[in-house]
Chain A
Amino acid sequence: MKISLDWISDFVDLEGVPPHELAERLTLATAEVEDIHPVRRHTQGVLVGRVTACEAIEGQPPDGLKRVEVDCGARRYESVCGAPNVTLGMVSAFAPAGITLAGGVVITEQTLAGRRSEGVLCSAAELGMSHWHEGILEIPESMPVGTPLDTLIPPEDVVIEIDNKSLTHRPDLWGHYGFAREIAVILDRPLKSLPIYDLSQFESLPPYPLEVASFDDCPCYGCIDLRFRAGVPSPLWMQRRLHALGQRTFNLAVDVTNYVMWELAQPTHAFDGDRLRKIRVASLGEEGVFVTLDGQERRILPDDLLIWNEKEPVALAGIMGGLHSEVSRETQHVLLECANFRADRVRRTSVRLDLRTEAAQRFEKSQPPANVVAAAGRILHCLILADEPFQALSRFTVAGDPDAGHRPLLMDWAQVDRMAGITVPRDEARRILIGLGFQVASRQGLLELGIPPHRSRRDLSIPADVVEEILRIYGYGRIEPRLPVAPLEHLPVNEGLQREHRVRRVLAGAHQFVEVQNYIWFDLRRLEELGFEPQDCLRLRNPPARHNVALRTTLVPNLLALVRPNRAHRDGFRLFEIGRVFRAADQGRQERTFLAGVAYQPARSDPEELVRGIRGALEDLALSLAGSAFRFEPAREDVSPWWKRGSSLVIHGDSGTVGAIGLLTGDVLKAVVPDGQVAWFELDLEALPVVVHPAVKYAAIPIFPGSWQDFSLLWDAARGFAELESVLDRFVHPLIARREFLYRFKGKGLPPGKASYTFRYHLAAPDHTLSAEEIDAFRGEFLRHLQSHQIVLR
């Protein structure tokens, strides 16, 4: 929204208030000012002139030029003009030689197409009024020739631009009068009333035929049938203000409706009255096509709201008129529509058609229906200001409820102070409310209010809304900050978050993992490369991209996708992510927090080391999170392309399966990375116990020295470590304090297929120093156990 201070000054005295100060105060009290644009027009020395001769110059390039004579009162000038709209008898703006126009162009006497030119007829752009340069300025014929243009169009104005996002709840601020009211209250200066033509004097005239199908979509529709010269140029005061806001000007009927929209925020529409007989407001009821006045064919859905002339649609309600009922230069008969349309109906249609007109933008903000009558009266008043006689052919005909009265609200004065946290002087509060248009009465601590009809019901209906009105003008900066007082109480920590933070500390703090975050949707193209078809996905109706339609059920694929780009930057790395996964099937627990990671190392390295590295990190994690160890068991089934038998281990916690860890092999490895090794893991964090501070049982430090014994066992390498470990687990002996795996040896000197596994047994007794006999006895029993499993020492 742009506001011209020239226009605001019609209603509030801005004397002595610099624009930047006004902008600052508006930002703090009303809505955010985005920018301040100074407007500089080049109207000094330019004269009002009538074209008294106009003939095409034949046979002299460039084509399309006309020789004109311009009567400027004191003098008659010769000139050459190429504007398409120049006609004999029209009144326009003439800049004689010596005048500087916009962009620093100095007008000189010259010969053009063989004709003398003593100056130029000017477009709005040449005068610095706007960017429009499709033709020369058109001035009402009644304007005396020779009038200096700068007496009609002052050279300077300031336009303040307001952030539209801060006006979504304030339909009244989409017009200048709304802002003038705010500024008057902010500056504590009087607000001049807006002169409005009294429509009641037409009550004796017949109503215009009008039918509204649903007051739901169109709460109030008003129209009046008028006769006036709709196609003549609008007065310069109207044109200059519309131009200052970047609006194009057309003719009196169109300009006056735009002018009043920019003043009162109420969009209206001027139809060619000869083309209409009866107005009907109704939706199409079926799909169809409508040609808007910009000549575009628009596809219409069954519930889009249209304005009809009997059986022919003539406008897209609240958005744009139709091509065939547009006002033209010759129009003398106008049907003026002042109506209110439901915000979301207008928004849906305008968004779908991408037709974000000034009218649509305003209706979308829920314009109050009260403006239906006010805008019509204001338009007629502007016709009088424009010195353009008019005749009403009908009364102002209204269907629906204009809701034009003040709305009562009773509240407690004390609520103002309670919500502010300070004492707001009541005189000041009363002044503010009255300035904003409220009716205010005060009785025994109660505040009896009438909410002004120009304010939307959505924005102003409860006491809290009123408190906001008082405080924003009173000044939030005058409220002294204070801290609330609360009783001491114990607040339990969020155990889920504690667990997540602890995971980060263990993995990133001790195991060189780097934390990443991925999107919560799969990339279906990547899943196809991996050969993974996810089951039970939640799906998006409007995904960010077609291949992102499914929410992730596992964190692993998106992490695997990071391996290839990152290996260009690092020889090896470990990544992890904590994030939500979603499953459609799990009733009640569809959303869970998972932890997953990937590790990458170059092809020539030892893949066992890669897996053992992240397994070690997970073993630390188990200890830190729950105080107990994970169990790792070979996967017995293929769960996904990465979670497969032979290359994965299932991880068990105290409560059951919590996740898995594995090494990528075969096709899935190739799909992830052309060379190198990749290991992965994934844990359901919510399946782990939440123990913020795990209980630890102190074990007495042995008083009597123990002993340790190393054994190197020959074992079938193909059977794997886990099976050997389970054999050792079965050997229970009271002297064993701890068993430690030292290393595995493969290679020369061993029987084929065998590897040597070296373990260290720590032996101790709580009440005495071990004797040689005891140790020998242990060795004997242990070796017998090994023998029973066909295990020999190396």
Chain B
Amino acid sequence: MEDIWRQLEAELDRAKSLPEIEQVRIKYLGRKGVITVLAKNTDFGKLSAEEKKSFGQRLNSLKSRAEEAVRAAAERASREAVPQDGATGGPDLSLPGTDRRLGAMHPISLVQRELEDIFQGMGFRVLTGYEVETEYYNFDALNIPPDHPARDMQDTFWLEDGRLLRTHTSANQVRALEQFGAPIRAIFPGRCFRNEAMDASHENTFYQLEGLLVDRDISVAHLIGVMKTLLSAVFHKEVTVRLRPGFFPFVEPGFELDVQCLICGGVGCATCKRSGWIELIPCGLVHPRVLEFGRVDTSAFSGFAFGLGLTRLAMMKFGIPDIRLFNSGDIRFCEQFPVSM
């Protein structure tokens, strides 16, 4: 009888679904089940009263234990069962969700917001300027000489009224200095425009983020320190940077800041054109003439400025191969960037 019990237990253990458990029940407790047959086939007449009593008790116990085990197994199975189809009559919880109301934000919005957060965390204020700018703020006040090629019609979109579409967010530098004076820590994200022929890596409309920090005794060491901190926050890991000479009329000294290639780690790959470095941020100490235009006392204050290509950063961050996608209005592009801010 104990063998029967152990076998039953083992089979119930294997039976996971209700139909399988039913099979087990029929095998042991059905009309021709093992236990039923055992009871039927036992000739109680041959047994002593003592034996009759003992055997009867054991048989009843086995039967009730078996019934209880089958019931418990069935209950467990129905509790665990996930309705697989409507045939069971219960709700089909495997259907996909509805009422999904999430749209998408433009990739520039996401990157801009991320950088605003980083810089605000470092104590920079966020300022915006004008897309239609005067020649004074875009060029003159940045120490860009009157005959500089950047002022040409080939490079700058000029308005009939003599103003222009800003060619860089640096146009905000002197505006900010005039408004807030020194010391100042500020970034200026915004849209810029250049009269360029368009291809996969050139757009006439793109985003930059300019940064300006003016305080007492600001040095190249500070510039490198802030850039390293910024880039480590942007790329979520420690980055290696290097400065090399770069020329921009509104900084002196001027630099190109390279970041060690994040793809190959500096060994050289296609992304970094096998140089191990990626040119990322033009920057420099603010030219004294620019500070003077901003009415800052150059004997007391110095500063640094940098220009981040927001569009370029978004291309790197999201792996976007063609800059023209940003202004395409193609929903297949724009909807790829879910709300994350």
Residues of A within 8 A of B (CB): 27-32, 166, 168-170, 343-344, 347, 351, 418-422, 458, 462, 464-465, 467-468, 471-472, 476-477, 479-484, 486, 489, 491-494, 496-497, 501, 504-505, 507-520, 538-544, 551, 558-559, 561-562, 565-566, 569-570, 573-575, 580, 582, 584, 590-591
Does B126 contact A497, Cβ atoms closer than 8 Å? yes
Given the complex, which residues of B lie within 8 Å of A501, measured CB to CB?
A: 109, 113, 341
Q: How far is the CA of A465 from the CA of B189 in the complex (A)?
A: 29
Does B147 contact A542, Cβ atoms closer than 8 Å? no
Complex interface bits, B111-131 against A, C-beta within 8 A gives 1, otherwise 0? 001001000100111111011
Residue with the greatest number of chain B CB neighbours at <10 A, chosen from A168, A472, A482, A565: A482
Cβ of B326 under 8 Å from chain A: yes
Given the complex, which residues of B lie within 8 Å of A558, measured CB to CB?
A: 329
Given the complex, which residues of A lie within 8 Å of B152, measured CB to CB?
A: 351
Cβ of B278 under 8 Å from chain A: no
Cβ of B242 under 8 Å from chain A: yes
Distance (whole angstroms) from the CB of B182 to the closest CB of chain A? 12
Additional A-B contacts beyond A484-B215, A519-B327 (16; CB < 8 A): A420-B220, A421-B222, A479-B243, A484-B225, A492-B125, A494-B128, A507-B103, A517-B108, A518-B327, A539-B160, A542-B153, A542-B195, A558-B329, A569-B332, A580-B191, A582-B131
Q: A515-B109, A520-B205 are in contact. Are A32 and B329 (CB under 8 A)?
A: no
Q: How far is the CA of A268 from the CA of B338 in the complex (A)?
A: 61
Does B224 contact A481, Cβ atoms closer than 8 Å? yes
Cβ of B267 under 8 Å from chain A: no
Given the complex, which residues of B lie within 8 Å of A580, measured CB to CB?
A: 131, 191
Given the complex, which residues of A lie within 8 Å of B132, measured CB to CB?
A: 538, 551, 582, 590-591
Distance (whole angstroms) from the CB of B204 to the closest CB of chain A? 6
Interchain residue pairs with CB less than 8 A apart (13): A32-B256, A347-B147, A420-B221, A464-B253, A472-B253, A508-B102, A508-B339, A509-B339, A512-B103, A519-B205, A541-B158, A580-B191, A582-B132
Q: How far is the CA of A476 from the CA of B245 in the complex (A)?
A: 9
Does A483 contact B226, Cβ atoms closer than 8 Å? yes
Interface range, B side: 35 or more
Given the complex, which residues of B lie within 8 Å of A170, measured CB to CB?
A: 247
Does B195 contact A479, Cβ atoms closer than 8 Å? no
Does A514 contact B334, Cβ atoms closer than 8 Å? yes
Cβ of B101 under 8 Å from chain A: yes
Does A510 contact B101, Cβ atoms closer than 8 Å? yes
* Residue of chain A at shortest CB distance from B227: A481
Given the complex, which residues of A lie within 8 Å of B220, measured CB to CB?
A: 419-421, 471, 476, 479
Q: How far is the CA of A118 from the CA of B125 in the complex (A)?
A: 80
Q: How far is the CA of A519 from the CA of B327 in the complex (A)?
A: 7
Distance (whole angstroms) from the CB of B258 to the closest CB of chain A? 9
* Residue of chain A at shortest CB distance from B106: A515
Q: How far is the CA of A559 from the CA of B327 in the complex (A)?
A: 11
* Residue of chain A at shortest CB distance from B187: A494
Does A166 contact B131, Cβ atoms closer than 8 Å? no
Cβ of B213 under 8 Å from chain A: yes
Distance (whole angstroms) from the CB of B127 to the closest CB of chain A? 7
Does B101 contact A517, Cβ atoms closer than 8 Å? no
Given the complex, which residues of A lie within 8 Å of B199, measured CB to CB?
A: none
Given the complex, which residues of B lie within 8 Å of A510, measured CB to CB?
A: 101
Does B285 contact A464, Cβ atoms closer than 8 Å? yes
Cβ of B157 under 8 Å from chain A: yes
Does B158 contact A27, Cβ atoms closer than 8 Å? no
Does B335 contact A514, Cβ atoms closer than 8 Å? yes
Distance (whole angstroms) from the CB of A378 to the closest CB of chain B? 27
Complex interface bits, B238-279 against A, C-beta within 8 A gives 1, otherwise 0? 000011111100001111100000000000000000000000
Please tell me which one of the listed residues A468, A516, A544 contacts residue B195 in the complex, with CB atoms under 8 A apart: A544
* Residue of chain A at shortest CB distance from B224: A481
Q: How far is the CA of A159 from the CA of B183 in the complex (A)?
A: 47
Does B161 contact A517, Cβ atoms closer than 8 Å? no
Does A462 contact B252, Cβ atoms closer than 8 Å? yes
10 tightest CB-CB pairs across the interface, nearest first? A421-B221, A421-B219, A344-B147, A468-B253, A508-B103, A476-B243, A481-B225, A562-B329, A481-B224, A464-B252
